[in-house]
Amino acid sequence: MSDKPRFHRAAALPVVRELLKHLEPVTDRLIVAGSLRRKKLEVGDIEFVFIPKREERQLDLVTVGKVDLAAEVIERLVTGGVLAKRENVNGGTAWGDKNKLAVHVTSGIPVDLFFATEDNWWNYLVCRTGPKECNARIATAAQAKGWKWQPYKKGFTDGQGRLVRATSERHVFELAGLPYQDPCERA
């Protein structure tokens, strides 16, 4: 068992509500994943999976580009002291384009923010809902049939190297050759 601090669900839910207020307006899809989605009484962190809204803006005098609105809001939450970049054991941070690992300053609860796309939404959702044992079963079952699960991509690579896109959470399990499990049943 991990020595990572655990937080009661009741302590995590107000943080979820606070962050949802900020993230819902700037996302096309948004869900709380991880152990909260699996309805555990204690959690190690709060995980959000979302597809950010993008807005076209004039970036300079000659360039027009799409700006990720969720990334802007998350940066404001950091500069405003609501979130802080979370340090790993080596003193670095994971603060990239696809994943941002933070901590909610007031509560001390870790917050993981995962940027998804329509193409990889279902894989991200299954993977980030977890737990790791369930993810290992999916990967192993896919491998047993000569496939590879790519949880941060569109789906699976079949035996001929073709990409097979997952179109639902249930479909991820079907493609691996496993019976579907509701999040609460996954262990």
H or E element in which residue 144 lies: helix 132-144
Q: Torsions phi, psi of 50, nearest 5?
A: -155, 160
DSSP class of 181: -
The whole-angstrom separation of Cα 57 and Cα 50 is: 21
Summarize pLDDT for 94-150 with one digit per residue, the tens.
898 889 999 999 999 999 999 999 999 999 999 999 999 999 999 999 999 999 999
Domain contains 37: yes
User: Do residue 101 and residue 129 come from a single domain?
Assistant: no
Q: Is the pLDDT of residue 160 over 60?
A: yes
The whole-angstrom separation of Cα 156 and Cα 94 is: 26
User: Do residue 37 and residue 127 come from a single domain?
Assistant: no
Percent of the chain with pLDDT strictly greater than 90: 80
User: Do residue 97 and residue 51 come from a single domain?
Assistant: yes
User: Do residue 111 and residue 125 come from a single domain?
Assistant: no
Q: Can you give the pLDDT at residue 88?
A: 82
Cis peptide upstream of residue 131 (ω within 30 degrees of 0)? yes
Q: Is the pLDDT of residue 60 over 80?
A: no
Which one is predicted more confidently, 62 or 1? 62
User: Do residue 17 and residue 109 come from a single domain?
Assistant: yes
Q: Can you give the pLDDT at residue 62?
A: 64
Measured between alpha carbons, how far is residue 13 from residues 20, 33, 39, 130, 185 in Å?
Answer: 10, 12, 11, 19, 21
Q: Which CATH number does the domain housing residue 125 bear?
A: 3.30.210.10
Find the domain containing 157 and state its range.
121-180
Q: Is the pLDDT of residue 56 over 60?
A: yes
Domain contains 80: yes
Q: Can you give the pLDDT at residue 47?
A: 98
The whole-angstrom separation of Cα 83 and Cα 67 is: 21
Provide, for the chain, the percentages of residues in helix, strand and coil under a 3-state DSSP scheme, each rounded to the nearest 5.
35, 30, 35
Mean pLDDT in the chain? 93
Q: Torsions phi, psi of 89, nearest 5?
A: -65, -20
Summarize pLDDT for 26-49 with one digit per residue, the tens.
999 999 999 999 999 999 999 999
Tokens encoding 63: 């360039």
